[in-house]
Amino acid sequence: MAQTFNLPDAGEGLTEAEIVSWKVSPGDTVAINDVLVEIETAKSLVELPSPWAGTVGELLVAEGVTVEVGTPIITVLETGEAPGAPAPAAPAEHEDPTPPDVGPQPAVPGPLVGSGPRADAVKRRARHTPTRPPHSTPASRETGTRDTGSQHTGTGAAPTPSPRPQAPATPPAAAPAPPSPSTTPAAASSPVRAAGNRIERLVQRVLAKPPVRKAAKDLGIDLADVTASGAGGEVTRDDLLSYAEQVARNQALAPQFWDADQDRIERVTVRGVRKATAAAMVQSAFSAPHVSIFVDVDASRTMEFVQRLKASRDFEGIKVSPLLILAKAVIWAAARNPQVNASWVSGQTGDEIHIKHFMNLGIAAATPRGLMVPNIKHAQDLTLKELAVALGELATTARAGKTKPADMQGGTLSITNIGALGIDIGTPIINPGEVAIVAFGTIRQKPWVVSGEVIPRWITTLGGSFDHRVVDGDLSARFMADVAAIMEEPALLLE
């Protein structure tokens, strides 16, 4: 007897999902817990297992079609029954009739090339258009490490690395590393300036072998823009070539966007992650009165601390970035200002403010599938090392599209790392269900006045948006001041 498998609620309160790919075909034999299908919910990709053993009968929904929870999607027959016909290959009338992609999409930094008539036309043209020598963008700075101050795991997504291009026939000759900057007698006599020079020597220089530096110079690439994957944060030759490949590919594809023979208007169906993100942002922006404040921070000691952690044997093999210190700072500051770690709840008996005595720290991550804000459960209980591991796992899972619905729910306070995209600061929108979010801008070396002297320091800007129903101006200012204090002096975490 045929048993019908209905689309279940893969998370809490989900109403629909898209059939991404079938893992079985009619006539296949399946056992209990064998994966039948991969679906895309509002926030993640989920594999659905079979609740029965038997033979696949009929696939009732085609790939690419979005259906409501409870809709029959597949039948499973008892062994020996004849299977039905496969599901139709074409999507439903209301779906995008664009033919499926025939090859991998090159990763593009910033706005990602999605699906639709224009995207497919670009991809078809790209296959017949000669390109420059392949290049590649760095992996998302939200999780990668970089010795010059790029922070990670915020709103930047990590594109899938492109295949490694053919290396040059003749390896470039080694070039000596540039000499360390020397101090003038006047500078040497100043303890403040000497400290500034010490930090500059410590964090400004990107780690790379001389042949890699020579190759970067020949290609016109700043090593500071390349995400390092080598031991101890070293930029390897593969890192450089991968970055160079995508840069050239993006330059080759860019002019095709304006080709006159393509459709003038690209229509993209709003669904999946984009649909969920749009609904959440509208809900937050028009229900919670936002107030935002900003503060410039001297993060030189944070940069120095990050370098010491990278060199520590305790953190060997663990990616460490300034985002780790910011995450710890947010947890520390929230304990001193608990009302930022709360939610506004409206009920039949009236409105309430629920202050959370635990921290589910959300990290906004821009992935190829769209913006996600998975959270680290009970982040307040984690050591610095455990928090670093959790940040790395969160970003890796999000990039792979394997974030579970449960990991997207229950957040109490979030961080968005727009600095990973080279942006100084912006006004973030609060994640629904929370009352505060901290934006982390890029860290740059800038002139800074210390004890009456102007010296180079590593400066960043922090921005915070708050639900003014819960967080008043003085409370938001105290909270941001506490976060800034840790970024300026990480040793406060040890107190």
The residues annotated as belonging to the active site are 468
Q: Are 250 and 106 in contact (CB under 8 A)?
A: yes
440 forms beta bridges with 462
The two three-digit tokens of residue 136, written as one number = 């590649």
**Whole-number Cα distances in Å, 136 to 10, 244, 245:** 35, 5, 4
**What is the C-alpha to C-alpha distance for residues 414 and 38, in angstroms, rounded to an integer?**
29
Q: Would you call 25 helix, strand, or coil by DSSP?
A: coil
Greatest alpha-carbon pair distance for the chain in Å reads 91
Contacts of 215 (CB under 8 A, 6+ apart): 168, 172, 237, 240
Strands 413-416 and 436-440: parallel
Contacts of 141 (CB under 8 A, 6+ apart): 150, 151, 152, 154, 156, 227, 417, 419, 420, 421
Q: From start to end of 66-136, where are the E strands?
A: 66-68, 72-77
The two three-digit tokens of residue 495, written as one number = 């107190």
Helices 300-311 and 473-488: crossing angle, nearest 10°? 50
**What is the C-alpha to C-alpha distance for residues 422 and 424, in angstroms, rounded to an integer?**
7
